[in-house]
Amino acid sequence: MKDRKLLMIPGPIEFEPEVLAAIGEPTTSHVDPEFIETFGRAIELIRKVWMAPNGQPFILAGSGTLAMDAAGANLIEPGDRALVLSTGLFGERFAELLSRYGADVTLLPFPLGETVDYGRVKEALASGDYKLMTATHVDTSTGVRVDPKPLGRLGREYGVLTVLDGVCSVAGEELRQEEWGIDVVLTASQKAIGVPPGLALLVASERAIAAFEGRKQPVGSYYVDWGSWLPIMRGYEARHPAYFATPPVNLICGLGVSLNRIIAEGLDRRIARHRRLARAFRAGISALGLSQVPTDSAHAANTLTAPRYPDGVSGVEFLGHVRDAGVILAGGLHPEIASEYFRIGHMGAVTEGEILTTIGAVETGLRRSGHRFVPGAGVKAVQEALSDPD
């Protein structure tokens, strides 16, 4: 019997064998000609995935929080005003992070499970002299998706730099950084990008780079200072490597493979696949009588689902039963409701088969936890949704 379980949490995800194989190759020199080509090509491909032909990509060793740190450290100077649109825990993290760099932060929280109300954002922008505004494309603690288009539009209208935390969205949700006028879009490797944890990825617009270059004070973090990384990124892209700090060679080899696969699938098709599988999974969850944290499926993420436990079901017990049935899911993360819901990641290379296996394991877990429902109702709803024409 195989003892390998299916990992269906909202990151890290299941990685493709080709990506893992590339990471498992013997480590080469960071100035080896083949690695220079891989690194340079990865920078070029990031521009395509972000849809930011004139953006400046950064590939750093670190997690998503480091990508947030890079945006905050390089764009904030002490006393700058920042507006943080929060749809969950990661919005709050951004507020705390920006304050660390001396920003005067206004946190604009939206009710739990609801998405950003841009009417309120416009009011806030009209009444304050902000330098920077952040939003979380998909907040992994709530499963709420935010429409990034008005973010960029309002940023331009009010002359405010915009930063989108795309850790749980990039390469899984629709994103057109340059067309939408967003100044920084950041993510981490372990989610829809499809590479094990360890890479912080971001793309800065020309406007963001100009704001960085116009700083009056030095960047308060040594490691993430764009002044140190710009020559490295530009150097590798020109196929002339330079050194500041050792790049994570093996992970970048895996990244090259994954980005190629994303481009080969086609961004439109990839986003449509995420939407279709997410819609089917939500249909399955509803058919089992479970509600979800996002208050409306119109703003529910396509990269994860956040169902609430039915009355009488204990989360710890349920997740244990699902694990016994072969699937690993995540518990709640938002402190206000952590014990009331669970989370299923469905992003990256996720397939119909994995969605069906997962809903089957959820049914098993619910049944063993004493929840009553029509057996097979979730699986049936998923199958029906998957056979619906788009």
| Contacting residues toward ligand PMP, per CB under 6 A | 11, 63-65, 90, 136, 139-140, 165, 167-168, 188
Q: By three-state DSSP, how is residue 149 classified?
A: helix
Tell which residue, 112, 164, 136, has the closest CA to residue 306. Answer: 112
CB of 249 to ligand PMP, least distance (A): 20
CB of 141 to ligand PMP, least distance (A): 7
The pair phi, psi for residue 19, each rounded to 5°, is: -70, -45
Nearer to ligand PMP, 140 or 292 (CB): 140
Nearer to ligand PMP, 38 or 140 (CB): 140
Nearer to ligand PMP, 14 or 165 (CB): 165
Which residue pairs, CB below 8 angstroms and at least 24 apart, start in 149-155?
149/180, 150/116, 150/118, 150/121, 151/85, 151/116, 151/121, 151/180, 151/182, 152/180, 152/181, 152/182, 153/180, 153/181, 154/118, 154/121, 154/122, 154/125, 155/181, 155/182, 155/183
Which residue's Cβ lies closest to ligand PMP?
64
CB of 94 to ligand PMP, least distance (A): 8
Nearer to ligand PMP, 139 or 237 (CB): 139
CB of 181 to ligand PMP, least distance (A): 21
Give the DSSP H/E element, type plus range, for residue 330.
strand 330-331
CB of 357 to ligand PMP, least distance (A): 23
Nearer to ligand PMP, 84 or 168 (CB): 168
Q: By three-state DSSP, how is residue 119 classified?
A: helix
CB of 63 to ligand PMP, least distance (A): 3
CB of 166 to ligand PMP, least distance (A): 8
Residue 167 tokens, joined:
């850790």
Nearer to ligand PMP, 57 or 241 (CB): 57
CB of 111 to ligand PMP, least distance (A): 18
CB of 69 to ligand PMP, least distance (A): 9
Amino acid letter, 131: K
Nearer to ligand PMP, 167 or 259 (CB): 167
Nearer to ligand PMP, 158 or 341 (CB): 341
Tell which residue, 180, 175, 198, has the closest CA to residue 262. Answer: 175
Cβ-proximal residues to 213 (8 Å cutoff; 6+ apart), any chain: none
Give the DSSP H/E element, type plus range, for residue 56.
strand 56-61
Give the DSSP H/E element, type plus range, for residue 138.
strand 138-139
Calculate ∠ Cα 348-55-301, nearest 5°.
30
Is the CB of residue 190 less than 8 Å from the CB of residue 196? yes
**Residue for token pair 């998405």:** 115
Nearer to ligand PMP, 88 or 241 (CB): 88
CB of 384 to ligand PMP, least distance (A): 30
| DSSP symbol at 296 | S
DSSP, residue by residue, 176-245: -HHHHT-SEEEEETTSTT-S-S-EEEEEE-HHHHHHHHT-SS--S-STT-HHHHHHHHHHHHTT----SS
Nearer to ligand PMP, 55 or 64 (CB): 64
Question: What is the pairing mode between strands 327-328 and 6-7?
Answer: parallel
